[in-house]
C-alpha cells in the first residue's frame, strides 16, 4: 500500500496551524473526520489512542518529519492525513528540530505487519530530500497530492 493510495487531496492540509505535536494530531484527525475517513463519534477515542502512542515516544524522526500513528478497532482500512507546517511544529523530534511535514496514519487493530510495512514505506519516502523539498515548495494541497502520487508509485 502506497502513500498515494492512503491519501486524497482532501486529506492534505497545506498549512497546518498547529504549534506543537498534540495540536498537529488534533488538526489531522479533524481532517479525517471532515473528509469522511473516520466517524465524528470516534474522533475523541482515536485522538486518545494516537496521543497515547505519541506519549510513549515521539514520532518526530528527524529531517523535519513526524509520523504519528496508531492501531484502532474503530477503522477497517488504513487511513491517513498529511500536513505541512510553514513555520514548523515542536514535535520533540530526535534531532530537536521543528517538524514541517506530518504524516498521520491509522491501521486497523491486529494488522501489525501492515502497520510496520506502511510505517517503513512512509519513512523511506520522506527521507528523500528532493521529495521533502518538493512538498515544502508546492503551492497547495492538490499539488502536494500530485507529488506524493507520482513519487509513491515508483
Q: Decide: 85 and 44 in contact? Cβ < 8 Å.
A: no
* Residue 133: burial class (beta carbons within 10 Å; 0-12, 13-18, 19+): exposed
Angle in degrees, CA 118, 92, 58, rounded to 5: 35
Cα gap 135→93, rounded to integer Å = 20
Nearest-CA neighbor of 5 among 75, 70, 82, 109?
A: 82
Cα gap 18→40, rounded to integer Å = 20
Active site residue 69: yes
Q: Which residues are catalytic?
A: 69
Amino acid at each position: 500500500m502506497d502513500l498515494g493510495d492512503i491519501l486524497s487531496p482532501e486529506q492534505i492540509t497545506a498549512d497546518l496551524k498547529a504549534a506543537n505535536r498534540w495540536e498537529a494530531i488534533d488538526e489531522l484527525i479533524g481532517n479525517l473526520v471532515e473528509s469522511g475517513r473516520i466517524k465524528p463519534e470516534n474522533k475523541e477515542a482515536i485522538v486518545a489512542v494516537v496521543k497515547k502512542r505519541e506519549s510513549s515516544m515521539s514520532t518526530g524522526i528527524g529531517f523535519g518529519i513526524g509520523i504519528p500513528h496508531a492501531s484502532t478497532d474503530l477503522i477497517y482500512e488504513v487511513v491517513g492525513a498529511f500536513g505541512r507546517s510553514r513555520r514548523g511544529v515542536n514535535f520533540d523530534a530526535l534531532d530537536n528540530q521543528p517538524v514541517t511535514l506530518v504524516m498521520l496514519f491509522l491501521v486497523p487493530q491486529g494488522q501489525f505487519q501492515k502497520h510496520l510495512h506502511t510505517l517503513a514505506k512512509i519513512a523511506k519516502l520522506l527521507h528523500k530530500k528532493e521529495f521533502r523539498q518538493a512538498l515544502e515548495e508546492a503551492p497547495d494541497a492538490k499539488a502536494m497530492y500530485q507529488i506524493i502520487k507520482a513519487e509513491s508509485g515508483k
